[in-house]
Structure 1
């Protein structure tokens, strides 16, 4: 019933029907998620999960693994792109150590979701155990439980982890039944030779896999701690009827895993942008998802969420504040 009320409200604003394009779809979706014709975005949060990947040791990234922990410290010091955009749009930022290969000093404003000091390389074996994969889901949901208790109803997720585009690409390839060549990209900036090497390594990893198609088995074998904690966080947010802002390639693969566990999450997901990673375009098409922005981003960190958030505010504001034909005493079309 709420859907029909929202459609009538949107169509009776002082504009031709559909003339606000995707903002109208967004206003409808937000109203449906929050189950109200007068939605409010409350206490927005963005969570960045960070972890290291054993596959990075195989030469699939242009940057060394220590960059993961260096960037975590950069987040905590307020110097990264996501810090800038969250400050600009008054979004609360939380950073979670899901499995960085480093012991951070006590007292830092860093969430503790650490599973281990990085995954194993999935070239010749599983990245983690199934028990660890399920613990990731649990820890990700726990983060959301704490944030939801603060009244938050709109949340986005980002990631940091050298090598995580490889993990995401293999999961996408197997879950979507697509060639790995369609799923990989340059990540942190690989040249042509490095990109070919990355493809060959991931093809070999897939060839070495002798397991089945069970999603938990695939997540454990090829996943990353930060990717799977993000999956658990998305599932937890959907349970609590929160708006979920989905970032770029890695985050969309986390969503793909969440969708494989519970398809109802689709109702809560707002896809913020289409990234420069080739696989992201194919993945969005596979999911029949319409991204709000196309800015050629490939940074991660949740930056696409922070940049798209003002569009969510605009959708809510026009729904709540724009005059109707009746209130403005303007003649509607016949």
Structure 2
């Protein structure tokens, strides 16, 4: 199969997966007694119906871009970074901690809070990275456990360190905030913030890192074949660790988008944020490419935001959107079948 065919299939498979997922969702709505046209109209209104909805869709998309990039970057080294959820949480905590406790001009304070989030996420990625590189411990097991360590440690720090046994911290200083009165005013006071610009810049940087640097080449090489990479003189352990550190930093930055942008604080969490877990689906749908991740994150942001309109606008449960997302990922995971049909169709058309 030629490289042009691979690129074509890399575009077609996610698109077809989304279409099949939406069709399957329509069938489920019909079977359950709902009108799929009305349901999808409500979904569209909830995501793009007015300036407020568009602002909230962009706001939801922002951390998905960064968590999707975190998963996709680790995938390039053949690492499954399920720990993006924990990395998001510790990044969120670190950003708010610096945002609350440091007093400095915005030109210093905001970058400092963002860097703190990246360092926290990077450290949380370093742990499974070094265990994988030096001891061969599978990153999936370590990252799953670290998600719970991040969640419960963060809750303890919020209650006992950042507050006096309260469940929500004070708001960050305005000098560390990503919020924008101008953006909010033109979107009828949605929670959209400047984080979307940071997320898009991060996508460009990740693309450059993967496609235009020797580090990116080595990480991809290690992902394809560790033994051949080692034989070629590459330091496999170093690249595994670096891949997880960079992935963790990206996820931590995703947490900062919530702490410095959407909420301006951090609260005790009864469960996971799901930003990191949804990032897995975003990365898969985006074919582990930065541009694909941006598009997939926007789709997920629209689906998640539009879901809120479905119960009131069409009487359809919001859980249906989760079913549609699950079906989309199912079809992406079954890409071999889609590729087989596409190849059969193309061969039939060439006869």
Please classify the TM superposition score into its range, dividing by the shorter chain length: under 0.3
> Higher strand share goes to which structure?
1
**TM-score normalised according to structure 1 size:** 0.26
Q: Using CA pairs under 8 Å that are at least 6 residues apart, name the structure with larger relative contact order, 1 or 2.
A: 2
* TM-score normalized with structure 2 length: 0.25
Judging by fraction of residues, say which structure has more helix: 2
